[in-house]
Chains A and B, each alone.
Chain A
């Protein structure tokens, strides 16, 4: 069953209340942040707090991600030293400009894994692309490491780099989003969209979620738990989608039973991409209906 990554809940690493309850809102992933949401004088405290949370609290089957500080300062290395030991599923590298950034980070992770006797390769990675250069290098970044589970867009830094600002329609992000989805798909990993910061604008959030779903993203980072349900509502297959996918699979099965290579539904031929989409739809539907687990 594919792992759903519709929603990645952003949790500031220096907020114990949010860290403690991060799993109750039903997001697919939780991202503990040690980077931009933590002020410089709280970096150590946040690192200890997230380490303690990951090693003592239970988060069920949620995918746990930690966003570390960039490796160009001591903070990034210190974060890695603690977090590889705390063993979240994924380390998220911020501000990735080139494949080298990923490879440098991977080398440090591998070193720490070896030091603590963890099988090298256990810790997965994702890379956030937040600059014009990073967007242009998206494909190189996406295929730079087998540890990568996905690449993500970080829009705030990106629009600053472009010398523009974010608009409600997001036209300024279209190129970056398209590049990132294409690069991720070409590399066979997940594509994750940026946050929508105006938490009280549910209509705007929904419009953006509709757009990125259409573009092909797997999901989106969220900064408020209230954004999770609307996001899932948009990403979840509808009953109509499921019924259609089932009808397609039934038509295929029926054609195969007849020994025919050609199937059709309602007078339209079903070709291979249609079948693949139907299979993917059913897999997602099955993944969506996983009941809330005991944690």
Chain B
């Protein structure tokens, strides 16, 4: 050695100097072929139990899951069963969302395996049980952007992420599809899983389709993955994804969608190079169909479409009407295949999509978003979480994030659902604050938030009749009357967080009716 370490000036003040090089201190170089390395990958473990031991799960830790497999998901139930058998207790389950298929969690809650849940939404029997007081701890409901922000700030610290993936190589490069073959299931974007992989202390990929290294392109890179487990099946392909989202044939939804498209056209935001997002729900998805006709007639194109992506958006992309797609979640197989095959269809993560605290989120580049609602009140507050019986039955999703980010947020809903008015004096649960909601479109009239007088003027100038939200409420009540208020207990079973993770509302236990 031709230098003396301690003679280098100011060395002690320079960071990242780990002494002098020592050949014996570095690992021996591998001489195996790629094929041999993959066979011998130490990251590839034989069972979920082994993975749980390997990453060091302990009682009271926070574990995370994604909801890209929707109602076809096997991963959460599968992992929780193993965790329960291994005897762990007091865990926090932080899923990006939960659906009907996660009913078995009820037992794990009763047995003390799960102490607390964070999620975007809750449905089915689990949601009913929670609404009736299943859990000691209230559930924390966050929007997709709010969850991303909470993870980024450390307020939601994930100890271990268990992330299902339709394809993965032995080193952990994982994705919601793969370009090697047509085998395995497919969910398209892994947008909600990506951030968990980055931020969790430990990350386990669970896959049913091992492909050869490198599984490129990947949604989650091996650099964020601790270990990989191959299982028989990560989910039911039919529940994960349907072939193509069809446009609704419901005449009322079509009427609402057509009106929403007319509103967009007149709003001042329907110009060449615009950006858009369509929320889930028949009417909001169908708005794309009517916008498409208007785009063709006026010869204008969208710069990008964001969000949950459907086959309809892909179709517009492929015919040149939408230049780029930013995809945090693929809603159908057409969207998933487009992500696989189309150059300008980009997979994005939840933070990039909608976080409030990062250095730039795509929702802030939206011209308009079309959103659904379970309830709308006369202050334009929106509920997408609890039903007219007060029971949890939905998901926040990106609702408050896109409403806040988009220059124009349009909420579509029927004026009445059966005997229940959609427009009410006060929503059961505030999810999206009225100050971020601009236009409400129902089958029986359009209302514009008084905060946006210029939008009202533009709509009226285009011949679209505009009513006040109170007029729409009165119209609904004239037909079906005012429902009896829901009876609640005092106990809080859910806490609804706004996207900045302030508490915007609480959900109380519904009273048992004899």
Contacts and interface: CB of A to CB of B under 8 A. Distances in A.
Interface of A: 17, 20-21, 24-25, 57-58, 200, 224-226, 291-292, 294
B48 interface: no
Contact of B255 (A24, A57, A58, A294): A24
Contacts, number: 27
Contact of B465 (A17, A21, A224, A291): A291
B479 A24 contact: no
Given A291-B463, A291-B465, A226 B254 contact: yes
25 contacts: A17-B418, A20-B416, A20-B479, A21-B252, A21-B416, A21-B443, A21-B444, A24-B252, A24-B443, A24-B444, A25-B251, A25-B255, A57-B479, A58-B478, A200-B249, A224-B251, A225-B251, A225-B252, A225-B255, A226-B249, A226-B254, A291-B463, A291-B465, A292-B465, A294-B465
A292 B464 CA distance: 9
Nearest to B418: A17
Residue with the greatest number of chain A CB neighbours at <10 A, chosen from B249, B254, B255, B443: B255
Nearest to B251: A225
B499 to A, nearest CB: 34
Contacts of A21: 252, 416, 443-444
Interface residues of B, number: 13
Interface string B444-467: 100000000000000000010100
Nearest to A58: B478
A177 to B, nearest CB: 27
Contacts of A17: 418
Interface string B218-258: 00000000000000000000000000000001011011000
Interface in B384-416: 416
A222 to B, nearest CB: 10
Nearest to A227: B251
3 closest Cβ pairs, A-B complex: A225-B251, A24-B443, A226-B251
A291 B460 CA distance: 12
Contacts of B251: 25, 224-226
Contacts of B479: 20, 57
B354 to A, nearest CB: 34
Contacts of A25: 251, 255
A20 B419 CA distance: 10
Nearest to A293: B465
Contacts of A291: 463, 465
B261 to A, nearest CB: 13
Given A224-B251, A291-B463, A292-B465, 10 more contacts: A20-B416, A21-B416, A24-B255, A24-B443, A25-B251, A57-B479, A225-B251, A225-B252, A226-B249, A291-B465
A9 to B, nearest CB: 10
A57 B444 CA distance: 14
A224 B250 CA distance: 10
Contacts of B478: 58
A117 B513 CA distance: 49
Interface string B151-166: 0000000000000000
A58 B474 CA distance: 13
A21 B443 CA distance: 9
Contacts of B254: 226
A294 B478 CA distance: 14
Contacts of B255: 24-25, 225
A262 to B, nearest CB: 40
Interface string B253-269: 01100000000000000
B279 to A, nearest CB: 22
B257 to A, nearest CB: 12
